[in-house]
Structure formats: structure tokens, C-alpha cells
Amino acid sequence: MIGQRHRHLHIDGRWQPADSQEKLDLIDPATEQWVASAPDGNAADVATAAAAARRALPGWSEAPPEDRADLIAALADGFDERREEFARLVTAQNGAVISRSRRTNGTRPVALYRHHSEVARAFEPEMVDTAGREILRREPIGVVGIIIPWNAPQSLLAHKLAPALAAGCTVVVKPAQETPLDSLRIAELAATVGFPPGVINVVTGGRATGAAIVDEPDIDMVSFTGSTGAGRAIASRAGRLLKPVVAELGGKSAAVLLDDADLELFSERLIATCLPNTGQVCYSCTRVVAPRERFDEVLAVVTSTLAAAKVGDPLDPATTFGPLVSAAQRDRVQGYIESAHSEGAKVVLGGKRPTTTPAGYYVEPTVIIDVNHSMRVFREEIFGPVLVVVPHDGDADAVRIANDSSFGLGGAVFGVDVERSTEVARRMQTGRISINGEAHSVSAPSQGFKDSGIGGSIDLHSHLQVKSIARFPS
Ligand code: NAD
């Protein structure tokens, strides 16, 4: 797919020429070279895809759950064989370091499809009360419009697509303008493994294509992952149309270190917890909240760990920090670093473009201190390799600082006493927390609190509506 000028979308189980003549030019963030182009789909393309999804709906939603389960499992197997291809295809578009892309665009989607294949197999759509009078029936919502961002596109897609398919919904996918190719590829793969035409359709494009998904009458529900700003626009549009929305949005999460935190363990888990994917992950814990009495010690661990990490070619398995996704994102991140300087904070590591990378949208891993809680670098999602370290005066103060945010997406607590750490986690207003860097299972729900979202798509029930049938005994 690399090096090609794609003029087709994947709709109704086959490649079809796009109605739109506009295109998205993809640039490799590491080299600034042209990668490929894809159609910038218009409202007519969305309508064609939605009509195909609508036609496919009765057959798919009424198919025995085990048939759906078998096809989702076949998609998992097909993906598994092409994991490396997907990981590289994503990295060529978004610059994600390959060691991480192999997980988020390789093994994790496979695990998500496998998990939801089992969920589909076990799904019982009807429950009848003991007297046989009342039936509770769960039916698929219908055609789901899936809109995703670029940062881990195949995990984020599987996170929405797998449960939608398991529930019996058909879908129209709108990938991010930065990463259209891997979504087109998965639609092609789904057709190859036997999905009926129209169950999975992909229309590539930008914001206007996303807006057309929301407005399209043949789309019954919108499942969105992306920024809080776009989430607000989408949810208000969908609200007017009374269309159900799942919105998985931005974050500004906190990693709280308690006074007994094991700093060696924290150092090992620091990058995965605080700046994964060069800080371009919604769950990044970019506010490190450290005990005041151990502040210097924590800061030394943070700066030495980040200073030792390799910045450079994302295809090199030894690289930890790659480029940012685009020139615009790099400039945005640098704007935040400038704001820290002008608001009186102190940049103690990084802050500039690295001198070792002649091309590409790189920013050095950056650590900022002397931050007060009204500064932009404390309050706003930066989505780059930038974190702040702030002091706390005990567990209650740490919770107060962590909760001093309009967001509530992720979070972490580091402490040797796991029960005490869990108690702190219970008091943090956020949807997903890890203790000592423990990873969540593939079936763990993820739901944003506050401005981080509405609902969560990984749950099968988000894609179902409930009908109750009361029967007069005959
Ligand atoms: P973005 O909001 O700019 O775009 C996301 C997707 O929405 C893209 O496909 C885009 O074309 C589309 N879009 C944008 N505006 C739209 C509109 N008004 N109507 C319809 N569609 C629209 O986000 P991004 O820069 O691609 O991704 C980064 C953001 O995503 C960050 O804020 C990050 O925290 C968030 N994110 C959240 C999660 C989560 O699970 N909560 C996961 C990954 C990323």
C-alpha cells in the first residue's frame, strides 16, 4: 500500500472508486517523505458505505452468534499472520516506534478480536422470567459509524469494531486522515476471510468525512475516539439527531508516587506509564506527582531515565522516542514548552528539537518543574513527550492534585503497600488506573470520567438496545 495513489475505498466487500476526487497525502513523520495518498471521502461516499452496511444488517444481526464468532476469530487469525505488515504500515504513517507498534497494531488487536469472538459465542440475546411472561431481548443498535484517531489505530479500531461485530452491528469506519491505509487493509482482510459484503466498510477522509458519518441518516450510532474538542462537536451534533454516542476522549492523567514508592520499579515503568508512544497516548500520565520529601530523588530518576532513552528512527527496535505525527503536532508541542517558559516554569530536560535527527518531526523528551496548577502545561493535554513533576504533601494532597483536572481518563499509583495504593486509586476521579505499572487485561473496561468521555466502546452492551416483551398467558 506504501508508495501508491489509492483512489478506491473498501465498501460492500470490495474496492470501489471514491466519489470524491480530493485526496489525503500521507507524509512519513520520521523522514518527511511522501508515503502514499488515499481518498478524502465525501458525504456521497459515506452514504454509499452506510447503504451497504444497512443492506448487510439483517443477515449479520440475525446470523447465529457462533457464525459471527467464527468470522471474528478468522479475522484474528488473518491479522495474526499479518501482524508485522500492520505494525510497519502504521509506523510508516504515524511514526510510532516499531517495538510499540508491534504491540498496539499487532498483538493487541489480535487479542481483542479473539476475546470478542468468545464474547459473541457466549452471547445470549434473550432472558425470560421464570413465569415465562416477560422477555428481555437485546438487539443490535444497527449501523455503527466508527471514527478513530491515528495514534494506535489498529488497537483503537479493534476496541470498537470487535464488540460492534459481536453485538450484530454492521459498521462504517472513518480512520484518521493521518492513518487511512491500515483501516483499508483490514476491510480487505475481512473480505478475504469471509465477512459478508457490507458488514465492514471503510471511508477514508478528514474531519468533514467524520461530520458526514455523524449526519448520515443510515448510521444509527457513533462510536468516536479522539480529542475532547472534536468529541464535543460530535456529541452535540449527534444529540440534535438523538443518535447514541460513545465518546472516548483526551486526558491529562497523573502518576502518583507515594512516599514508599519503589523508584527502581518506577524508572522501569516510567516511559510506558507516562510517555508511551512519544507521549501520544490518551492515557499518558504526564503529571508526575511526587512526595515533597523525595522530590529531588524522583526528579533525578525521571530525568536520568528519559535522558538515557534513544530518540530516533522509529523502525529501529532500540528506539524509544520517535517523531511526532506531523509538523503541526510538533509545533503545537513546542508551543506548550514555550508557554511553560513564559509562565515561569523551569524546563530541566529537553525542550528542543534533537540535533541527532536531520529530518522528521522530533521533540526531545522534556521535563518541566516549578509548575503551578493553573499553567497550561499542568492543565491541557499536550500529546507529546513532555511531562511535569509536581510535589505533594501526603496521600490526601496527592489525590487532590491528581483530581485537579477537567479530565479523568487514566492514572497510576506507585507504592510498595499495595492496599494503601489501592485506597488512593479508589479516590482518584478517573476511569482507568494501574498500580505499580500493572497492565490491564484485554477485557478491562475503559471509560473516561469528566471531560474524558461518555461511555466506553469495548463493552458489547454499548452496541445493543433492550426490548422488553410482556406476554399475556395463553
Ligand atoms: P481528533 O479529535 O483531531 O481526530 C480524531 C478523529 O476524529 C479523526 O478521524 C478526525 O478526522 C475526526 N474528527 C475530528 N474532528 C471531527 C468532527 N468535528 N466531526 C467528525 N469527525 C471529526 O484527534 P487526533 O488528533 O486524531 O487524536 C488525538 C486525540 O485522541 C487526543 O486527544 C487523545 O487523547 C485522544 N484519544 C483518546 C483515546 C481514548 O481511548 N480515550 C484513545 C486514543 C486517543
Residues of the chain with CATH 3.40.309.10: 254-435
Per residue of the chain (474 residues), what is the pLDDT tens digit?
A: 899 999 999 999 999 999 999 999 999 999 999 999 999 999 999 999 999 999 999 999 999 999 999 999 999 999 999 999 999 999 999 999 999 999 999 999 999 999 999 999 999 999 999 888 999 999 999 999 999 999 999 999 999 999 999 999 999 999 999 999 999 999 999 999 999 999 999 999 999 999 999 999 999 999 999 999 999 999 999 999 999 999 999 999 999 999 999 999 999 999 999 999 999 999 999 999 999 999 999 999 999 999 999 999 999 999 999 999 999 999 999 999 999 999 999 999 999 999 999 899 999 999 999 999 999 999 999 999 999 999 999 999 999 999 999 999 999 999 999 999 999 999 999 999 999 999 999 989 889 999 999 999 888 999 999 999 999 876
Ligand 1, pocket-test mutation among 173, 182, 214, 225, most atoms within 8 A of CB: 225
Closest approach atom of ligand 1 to CA 178:
26
Most ligand 1 atoms within 8 A of CB, residue of 151, 280, 286 to mutate: 151
CATH fold, domain 8-249+452-470, is: Aldehyde Dehydrogenase; Chain A, domain 1 (3.40.605)
Tell me the C-alpha distance between 246 and 169, whole Å. Answer: 15
The answer to whether residue 248 is catalytic is yes
Ligand 1 atom showing the smallest separation from residue 237 Cα:
19
Instruction: Quickly name the fold that domain 254-435 has.
Output: Aldehyde Dehydrogenase; Chain A, domain 2 (3.40.309)
Say if ligand 1 is within 6 A of residue 447 CB: no
211 Cβ below 6 A of ligand 1: yes
Residues of the chain with CATH 3.40.605.10: 8-249+452-470
Interval between CA 106 and ligand 1 midpoint (Å): 21
Q: Which residues contact 173 (CB under 8 A, 6 or more apart)?
A: 146, 148, 157, 161, 183, 187, 200, 201, 202, 203
Which run of H or of E encompasses 388?
A: strand 386-392
Q: State whether the beta carbon of 225 lies less than 6 angstroms from ligand 1.
A: yes
Cell 510499540 sits at which residue?
100
Atom of ligand 1 nearest to the CA of 229: 2
Q: What is the whole-number distance in angstroms between the Cα of residue 148 and the centre of ligand 1?
A: 6
Task: Write the DSSP symbol of residue 186.
Answer: H
Ligand 1 within 6 A of 421 CB? no
Closest CA to 137 of 129, 126, 146: 126
